[in-house]
Structure 1
Amino acid sequence: MTRPPILFVHGIRTSSSMWRGQVDAARSAGLVAAAVDLPGHGSRIGGAFSIDAAVDAIDEAVDSLGGRVVLVGLSLGGYIGITYAARRPEKVALLVASSCFTLPRGVGLAGYRVLARVIHRLPDRGRWLNDTMARLAVGSTAAEDIGSGGVALDVMDETLAAIGGTRPIADLARYPGPVWFVTGALDHFRLDERSFRRARPEAPVIVVPRASHLVSLVAPAAFARIVRDAVAAAPDRPSGSEDETD
């Protein structure tokens, strides 16, 4: 039985290039894998970000992979992945939501948006700060993956504003398929983890030891194993589906 392909969805400011190592690892294991650029990021830098446009971008990528995927999103990609799964449940065989367990609302979101505006006023719009923090967080090689697809410095505030309009807890409840939660033990985006667990109490919660927010880059081998296990666990396409593969 052919397993569903994997589609990776990136975090804020970065692009599909942050997933290069994970895409290569999946393909080396004999799986089909790709990563998508969200609006205003990567190959789409210069465009506007919106939730509807992000869903459309994922839709296009999912269709190019055959119409049904294991959807893996981290941080921004996790929130968008949850939204997409709720809107297009028939296209998501299994959802891996990673590093997105703080609800995007209230004082925390407002403070993050203020910080984004302040950084954007720097002479280089925050590029040096972004690159330096990336190197400190994940090391030089992974930082190169983060930045090689471009850094979306001009769309950060509007992206945060759009994410503030999502409802991840309600969307998790709406999506009928399986969900896996993945986080680093040191991730700072775990403030509302209990709410996410309550929304899907049957979902496994995988905590990667000593890993921080960018768990796929800090602990790439562990994350790749989790993705392979998720693909193996994804349910087969329902019997009678038009493009079922034997």
Structure 2
Amino acid sequence: MLPPDLAPPPPVLLVHGSRTSRTMWRAQEETLARAGVHALAVDLPGHGDRRGEEFTLDGAVDAVLRGVDALGGGALLVGLSLGGYVAVEARARRPGAILGLVAAGCSTVPATRLRAAWLLAAQRIERLPDGGAALNQALVDRTMSRQAAVDLGAGGFALDVMSAILREVGGADPLAALAAADSPVWLVNGRWDHFRTGERTFLAAARRGGARARLVVVPGSRHLVSLDQPVAFSRVLLEAVADVAAGRGAVPAPAATPAARAGEPVPSGRR
């Protein structure tokens, strides 16, 4: 539960990653409900109940902002991977409506030199007879816990959108977008996430826009941090909710630990 002396908690909008759907957030929705926080998870174009629709970045941002409107016009925005990039863009486009941002698994600039190789691989997989379904399921079974796999796949997998995602998001500039608003930011990455290579640059970009920002690295987790470590991720999420509810409008800087003062990794992941 949240501290009883806080103002009413802000609603939370949850934005899923590529190829999955809003069902990936079931564990966080349960945690937020127990804490008395109203939460809404949305499907992006081409995903979940919207499979078959064309994916565009503008359409994805519109889906997020419509979700914010459904929550009363203001929300703490939480996105993972693709959802993180979309959430960053939505905050930049309507800063007054985004009370805070938790951006997970999206601390790499999309215009990386590897994008062309990823796009080629995605196109080849999409041309397989099953659209890559067997490969996708094998990856899920190998890397996810049983419950995480169930939640991840409950809304179905969008196997034909990856090429469009790479083309659309590849033109985005998340560093400029982070610097375009001043609501508090939490960057949350799994310790073994291959998308955390630019996390320090992303942190600096958020602070450049006037936001107080915190980087949280979750031990023992990979890219899908909310599914790999749902308890740890939900704890960070509740901290963000409490901070926004307190009306501080900023993330308090954590006290330096001996490891941090020595320039070593902080075991707790708080930086």
TM-score for the superposition, normalised by structure 1: 0.93
Partner of 1:242: none
Distance (whole Å) between structure 2 residues aligned to residue 231 and residue 223 of structure 1: 12
Q: Does 1:215 align with 2:225?
A: yes
Partner of 1:110: 116
Contact 2:185/2:214 (8 A) holds in 1:
yes
Q: Does 1:142 align with 2:148?
A: yes
Partner of 2:13: 7
Contact 2:9/2:245 (8 A) holds in 1:
no
Q: Does 1:63 align with 2:69?
A: yes
Contact 1:11/1:75 (8 A) holds in 2:
yes
Distance (whole Å) between structure 2 residues aligned to residue 108 and residue 30 of structure 1: 42
Identify unmatched segments of 5+ residues in structure 1.
Answer: 239-246
Within a 5 Å distance, the mapping from 1:115-134 to structure 2 comes to 115-134=121-140
Shift of 1:237: 7.1
Identify unmatched segments of 5+ residues in structure 2.
Answer: 1-6, 249-271
**Residues 2/39 of structure 1: CA separation in 2 closer, same or farther (3 Å cut):** same
Shift of 1:236: 6.3
Identity level (%): 47
Partner of 1:243: none
Larger relative contact order (Cα-Cα within 8 Å, sequence gap ≥ 6): 1
Contact 2:10/2:245 (8 A) holds in 1:
no
Q: Does 1:96 align with 2:102?
A: yes
Choose the corresponding residue for 2:166, options 134, 137, 160: 160
Shift of 1:93: 0.4
Partner of 2:4: none
Aligned length: 238
Q: Does 1:188 align with 2:194?
A: yes
Please state whether the residue corresponding to 1:205 is helix, strand or coil. Answer: strand
Partner amino acid, structure 1, of 2:71: L
Choose the corresponding residue for 1:227, options 221, 232, 237: 237
Contact 2:182/2:206 (8 A) holds in 1:
no
Contact 2:8/2:245 (8 A) holds in 1:
no
Partner of 2:267: none
Within a 5 Å distance, the mapping from 1:233-244 to structure 2 comes to 233-234=243-244
Contact 1:6/1:72 (8 A) holds in 2:
yes
TM-score for the superposition, normalised by structure 2: 0.85
Contact 1:138/1:214 (8 A) holds in 2:
no
1:10-69 Cα distance to aligned partner (Å, 9 max, x none): 000001011111111110111111101001111110000111111111111111111111
CA-atom RMSD in angstroms: 1.4
Contact 2:103/2:188 (8 A) holds in 1:
yes
Distance (whole Å) between structure 1 residues aligned to residue 162 and residue 226 of structure 2: 21
Partner of 2:251: none
